[in-house]
């Protein structure tokens, strides 16, 4: 009972705080928000799909290549995070690779858009097309936000800000990269199957 | 980055204090300044929305008397009034205002965990407000689609502001959601990670619990508004048909087909219903603290109150379609949502009983904040009970879109939260400004506002039962509505205008007392929670002086038998309860001074 035991809790007693840093807790909360956004988009997609004017979109093959880029980005980021955590030396190459593969993914997404537009698949012509552009754009915007943080991390690691903070930034970047990969896989699977 | 550590920093001298006037009061990262910025902006737009309601009431009370109110204007007033009050005033004020002010102080932190993000949150919110107000100055004016913004009418020609107005509204909402997310992540993380030593979750004041849970709701529910807003923007600009069906509008067939307006309604209310609790839960928490403090009694059933807040928060996500009984959905659906709606009444009723039981045999001081808090119990019970009517499908169908609904939701989420806003402002005014407000003016403000709002909204229920429809600019010749309804409407308008004018008392009191009010001591209500135990009033940058407080007890130790006074602050150690609070504070200050001089000696020694 909260009113029965006045006094400080003993050292090490459970007080309801997470052992992670505040930044990591905030990132996880943010990912919950992003999950909510995409969950609702998916629900809207599934509801809208049932109506008579929905013509499934033939997804460009390029998307498979883009998927491979995103997987590579995630692997590279994981590698960077691991090197930093275990203090195994230079993580610069892995961190750069993680960012560059992500940029390659975004460029690939842009070319996929161009391919669809050239083929006459406009957003206004069918809800399936509209959802394709909308959902890939939303995913891309989130990745762009991640790249901003990645660029700051890369910059500060080059300029020798303390190792502990960089280590945390790299770890959080890798968590975010994995999340966006999983999100993309779900999104891609949904679009392929409908 | 340095900002992580600020909230957790034990020693004040490690903090970077702002250096210029500009970084202290404008571009400030101090949670208290940001709170005041949020509150001022929210109240400013709130006053605009209040003026809108005045214009609406003039038209309804005295139709055909005011030639400057055209039907389009009326719809724009309705829309802007609703949207501003719900989102830009109440959400921003409770979370951005009180959340910002109270969370670090009540949890014993020096600031929010991410002060820079917190500052950004305010400026992005201000941008959202500016975009919203800009819609008054674009061709066609602001949107007149109603605050629910239902498509297809929101973006079809014929609706006021269907071109620019609606786009600015949607853009403003998206920007608001970005601002809220920045603030919200901060509030949640601060509550979870930056509480001082001893402040376990189950020792937190209920205000913090209410604000915390409401923030979590906001973080998960605002995405629904974001999603529907983005999709409607695309329908309006690119000609997609997420929500737009094939339609014959003004003699022309639209290019869209197949879109689902009901899909928008589901998304909107998936946000819209939790939104009610985003506003209500902070109010619940604040009322609990005000009642306990001014009744000199511990809150009844603290743990039950916490669990009720969490239960209401969870249930609020599964009741949304009770706003859509007339949308033509499957009757089994209606049955499900009616059931969940009635279930949510259980934890809500628990809270009401506990408030009343807190008052039971308490040492009730009818101070101004207490009057507002007790007033809230009345209006909330009233609005809650009419909610039970409307939660039932068969009762809702005839009452849907009548003034009964208007009366209900204004009682439950208009008047009730606003009474709590007043209670909270009066309660914390001495801490925020260091001055006492004028008591007599405050009591007049309460009496006139409380009775006035009752005389506005109680008659509306009768109008609703008569079948008077809401959202109508003028009734015209409607056989089933008797003449007397118009008399009642005129009466409501007169009450509404009086209540609006009475608010001048409040503003005058707040501004006048800033200079002329009696100097407040640090704990004028003799309250237990941490914000009243700060070394300075108003609290300085960093809140706590040299050392963070340590919490030894829960937030409601009032009238404890055997204690020297009728309240024991949360930071009073168990062995000190027989001394008075002043003695204890003096001893603590001496210890702090001693510690400081010891640190000084040490530093001095090192320098040598």
A4 interfacial to chain B (CB closer than 8 Å): no
C-alpha separations of B572 from A175, B568, B577 in Å: 42, 7, 7
Q: Do A21 and B234 touch (CB under 8 A)?
A: no
**What pTM does this model have?**
0.94
A:B CB pairs within 8 Å: 134
Give residue B5's pLDDT: 40
> Given B227, B234, B557, which is nearest A3 (Cβ)?
B557
A89 interfacial to chain B (CB closer than 8 Å): no
Q: Look-up: residue for tokens 């403000």? A: B445
Give residue B603's pLDDT: 45
Give residue B56's pLDDT: 97
Check if the beta carbon of residue A22 is closer than 8 Å to that of residue B189. Answer: yes
Measured in Å, how far apart are chain B's first and last C-alpha atoms? 32
Q: Which residue in A has a C-alpha nearest to residue B549's C-alpha?
A: A8
A152 interfacial to chain B (CB closer than 8 Å): no
pLDDT digits (tens, 9 = 90+) for B114-170: 999 999 999 999 999 999 999 999 999 999 999 999 999 999 989 999 999 999 999
B586 interfacial to chain A (CB closer than 8 Å): no
Check if the beta carbon of residue A103 is closer than 8 Å to that of residue B218. Answer: no
Q: Do B234 and A36 touch (CB under 8 A)?
A: no
pLDDT digits (tens, 9 = 90+) for B381-396: 999 999 999 999 999 9
Give residue B596's pLDDT: 59
Mutate to test the interface with B, among A40, A121, A135, A145 (most CBs of B within 10 A): A40
Alpha-carbon distance A176 to A142, whole Å?
A: 10
B224 interfacial to chain A (CB closer than 8 Å): yes
B554 interfacial to chain A (CB closer than 8 Å): yes
Q: Give B-chain residues touching A23 at CB under 8 angstroms.
A: 4
Q: What is the number of other CB atoms lying within 10 angstroms of the CB of residue B262?
A: 15
- List all residues 6 or more positions away from B517 whose beta carbon is below 8 Å from its beta carbon: B433, B435, B436, B437, B438
Phi, psi of B46 (to 5 degrees): -60, -40
Cα A91 to the chain's mean position, in Å?
21
Q: Collect the ranges in chain B with pLDDT lower than 70.
A: 1-16, 592, 594-608
Give residue B12's pLDDT: 57
From the CA of B1, how many Å to the nearest CA of chain A? Answer: 7
> B607 or A179: which carries more pLDDT confidence?
A179
- Residues 458-497 (B) with a CB less than 8 A from some CB of A: none
Mean pLDDT of the region A181-192? 97
- List all residues 6 or more positions away from A82 whose beta carbon is below 8 Å from its beta carbon: A88
Average confidence score pLDDT of chain A: 92
pLDDT digits (tens, 9 = 90+) for B401-440: 999 999 999 999 999 999 999 999 999 999 999 999 999 9
Check if the beta carbon of residue B372 is closer than 8 Å to that of residue B416. Answer: no
From the CA of A145, how many Å to the nearest CA of chain B? Answer: 13
- List all residues 6 or more positions away from B149 whose beta carbon is below 8 Å from its beta carbon: B79, B143, B166, B169, B170, B232, B268
Give residue B1's pLDDT: 32
Q: Which residues of A30-41 are buried (b: 16+ CB within 10 A; e: fewer)?
A: bbebbebbbebb
Q: Give A-chain residues touching B194 at CB under 8 angstroms.
A: 22
Q: Do A123 and B234 touch (CB under 8 A)?
A: yes
Give residue B2's pLDDT: 33
* The token pair that represents B35 in the structure block: 């709170």
Q: Is B533 left (phi over 0), alpha (psi -120 to 50) or beta?
A: alpha
Alpha-carbon distance B200 to B4, whole Å?
A: 21
From the CA of A110, how many Å to the nearest CA of chain B? Answer: 19
* The token pair that represents B556 in the structure block: 């409601």
- pLDDT of A136 > 70? The answer is yes
Alpha-carbon distance A9 to B195, whole Å?
A: 13
Closest CA to B428 of B324, B350, B534: B534
B556 interfacial to chain A (CB closer than 8 Å): yes
From the CA of A15, how many Å to the nearest CA of chain B? Answer: 5
% of chain B at pLDDT higher than 90: 84
E strand or H helix at B189, and its extent? helix B164-193
Give residue B93's pLDDT: 98
Check if the beta carbon of residue A67 is closer than 8 Å to that of residue A170. Answer: no
Q: Do B181 and A8 touch (CB under 8 A)?
A: no
- List all residues 6 or more positions away from B81 whose beta carbon is below 8 Å from its beta carbon: B49, B52, B53, B56, B147
Give the residue ranges of DSSP H helices in B363-478.
Answer: 368-391, 393-399, 403-410, 416-433, 439-466
Mutate to test the interface with A, among B179, B228, B242, B297 (most CBs of A within 10 A): B242
> Given A9, A21, A123, which is nearest B238 (Cβ)?
A123
A29 interfacial to chain B (CB closer than 8 Å): yes
Check if the beta carbon of residue B122 is closer than 8 Å to that of residue B42. Answer: no
> B420 or A53: which carries more pLDDT confidence?
B420
Q: Do A124 and B259 touch (CB under 8 A)?
A: no
Q: Do B231 and A32 touch (CB under 8 A)?
A: no
From the CA of A174, how many Å to the nearest CA of chain B? Answer: 18
Q: Give A-chain residues touching B223 at CB under 8 angstroms.
A: 33, 36-37, 40
Q: Do A29 and B185 touch (CB under 8 A)?
A: yes
Q: Do A22 and B188 touch (CB under 8 A)?
A: no
Measured in Å, how far apart are chain A's first and last C-alpha atoms? 54
Q: What is the DSSP letter of B542?
A: T
Kindly provide the ipTM of the predicted complex, given to two decimals: 0.94
From the CA of A134, how many Å to the nearest CA of chain B? Answer: 8
pLDDT digits (tens, 9 = 90+) for A91-125: 899 999 999 999 999 999 999 999 999 999 999 99
Largest Cα separation within chain B, whole Å, is 96
Q: Do A17 and B195 touch (CB under 8 A)?
A: yes
Alpha-carbon distance A132 to A41, whole Å?
A: 11
Give residue B224's pLDDT: 98
| Rounded-to-10 torsion of CA A45, A48, A53, A55 | 20
Q: Give B-chain residues touching A176 at CB under 8 angstroms.
A: none
Give residue A11's pLDDT: 66
E strand or H helix at B253, and its extent? strand B252-253
B232 interfacial to chain A (CB closer than 8 Å): no
> Given B198, B219, B552, which is nearest A32 (Cβ)?
B219
% of chain A at pLDDT higher than 70: 95
| Rounded-to-10 torsion of CA B453, B459, B462, B468 | -90
Check if the beta carbon of residue B12 is closer than 8 Å to that of residue B545. Answer: yes
* The token pair that represents A17 in the structure block: 């705080």
């Amino acid at each position: 009972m909260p009113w029965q035991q006045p006094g400080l809790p003993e050292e090490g007693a459970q007080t309801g705080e997470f052992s992670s840093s505040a930044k990591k807790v905030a990132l996880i909360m943010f990912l919950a928000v992003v999950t909510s956004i995409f969950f609702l988009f998916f629900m809207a997609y599934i509801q809208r799909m049932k109506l008579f004017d929905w013509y499934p979109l033939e997804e460009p093959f390029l998307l498979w290549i883009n998927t491979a880029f995103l997987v590579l980005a995630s692997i590279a980021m994981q590698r960077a995070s691991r090197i930093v955590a275990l203090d195994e030396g230079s993580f610069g190459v892995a961190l750069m690779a993680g960012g560059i593969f992500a940029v390659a993914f975004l460029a690939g997404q842009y070319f996929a858009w161009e391919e669809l537009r050239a083929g006459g698949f406009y957003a206004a012509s069918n809800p399936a097309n509209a959802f394709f552009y909308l959902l890939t754009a939303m995913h891309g915007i989130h990745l762009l936000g991640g790249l901003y943080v990645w660029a700051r991390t890369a910059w500060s690691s080059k300029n020798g800000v303390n190792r502990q903070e960089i280590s945390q930034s790299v770890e959080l970047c890798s968590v975010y990269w994995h999340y966006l990969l999983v999100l993309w896989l779900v999104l891609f699977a949904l679009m392929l199957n409908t | 980055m340095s900002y992580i550590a600020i909230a957790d920093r034990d020693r004040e001298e490690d903090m970077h204090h702002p250096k210029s006037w500009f970084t202290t009061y404008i571009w400030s990262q101090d949670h208290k300044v940001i709170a005041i910025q949020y509150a001022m902006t929210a109240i400013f737009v709130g006053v605009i929305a209040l003026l809108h309601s005045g214009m609406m009431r003039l038209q309804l009370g005295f139709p055909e008397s005011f030639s400057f109110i055209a039907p389009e204007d009326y719809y724009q007033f309705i829309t802007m009034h609703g949207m501003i009050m719900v989102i830009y005033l109440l959400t921003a004020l409770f979370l951005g205002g009180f959340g910002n002010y109270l969370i670090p102080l009540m949890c014993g932190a020096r600031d929010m965990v991410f002060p820079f993000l917190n500052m950004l949150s305010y400026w992005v919110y201000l941008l959202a407000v500016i975009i919203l107000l800009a819609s008054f100055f674009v061709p066609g004016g602001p949107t007149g689609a109603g605050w629910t913004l239902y498509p297809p009418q929101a973006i079809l020609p014929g609706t006021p502001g269907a071109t620019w107005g609606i786009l600015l509204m949607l853009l403003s909402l998206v920007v608001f959601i970005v601002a809220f997310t920045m603030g919200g992540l901060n509030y949640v993380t601060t509550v979870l990670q930056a509480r001082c030593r001893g402040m376990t979750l189950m020792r937190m004041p209920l205000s913090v619990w209410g604000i915390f849970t409401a923030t979590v709701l906001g973080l998960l529910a605002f995405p629904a508004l974001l999603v529907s807003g983005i999709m409607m923007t695309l329908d309006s600009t690119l000609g997609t048909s997420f929500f737009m069906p094939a339609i014959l509008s003004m003699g022309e067939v639209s290019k869209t087909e197949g879109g689902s307006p009901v899909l928008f309604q589901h998304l909107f209310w998936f946000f819209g219903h939790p939104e009610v609790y985003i506003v209500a839960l902070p109010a619940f928490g604040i009322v609990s603290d005000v009642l306990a403090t001014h009744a000199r009694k511990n809150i009844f059933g603290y743990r039950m109150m916490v669990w009720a807040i969490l239960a209401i928060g969870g249930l609020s996500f599964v009741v949304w379609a009770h706003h859509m009984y007339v949308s033509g959905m499957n009757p089994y659906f209606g049955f499900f949502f009616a059931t969940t709606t009635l279930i949510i009444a259980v934890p809500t009723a628990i809270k009401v009983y506990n408030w009343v039981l807190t008052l039971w045999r308490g040492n009730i001081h009818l101070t101004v904040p207490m009057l507002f808090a007790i007033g809230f119990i009345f209006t909330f019970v009233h609005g809650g009970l009419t909610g039970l009517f409307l939660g039932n499908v068969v009762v809702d169908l005839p009452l849907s879109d009548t003034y009964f609904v208007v009366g209900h939701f204004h009682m439950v989420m208009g008047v009730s939260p606003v009474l709590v806003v007043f209670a909270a402002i009066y309660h914390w005014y001495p801490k925020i400004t260091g001055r006492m407000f004028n008591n007599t003016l405050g009591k007049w403000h309460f009496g006139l506002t409380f009775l006035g709002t009752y005389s506005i909204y109680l008659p509306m229920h009768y109008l609703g039962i008569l079948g008077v429809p809401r959202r109508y600019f003028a009734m015209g010749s409607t056989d089933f509505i008797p003449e007397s309804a118009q008399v009642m409407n005129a009466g409501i308008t007169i009450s509404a205008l009086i209540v609006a004018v009475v608010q001048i008392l409040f503003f005058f009191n707040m501004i006048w007392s800033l200079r002329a009010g009696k100097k407040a001591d640090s704990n004028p209500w003799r309250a237990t929670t941490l914000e009243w135990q700060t070394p300075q009033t108003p609290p300085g940058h960093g809140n706590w002086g040299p050392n963070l407080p340590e919490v030894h007890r829960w937030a409601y130790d009032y009238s404890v038998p055997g204690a020297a006074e009728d309240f024991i602050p949360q930071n009073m150690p168990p062995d000190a309860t027989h001394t008075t609070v002043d003695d204890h504070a003096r001893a603590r200050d001496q210890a702090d001074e001693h510690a400081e001089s010891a640190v000084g000696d040490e530093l001095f020694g090192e320098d040598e």
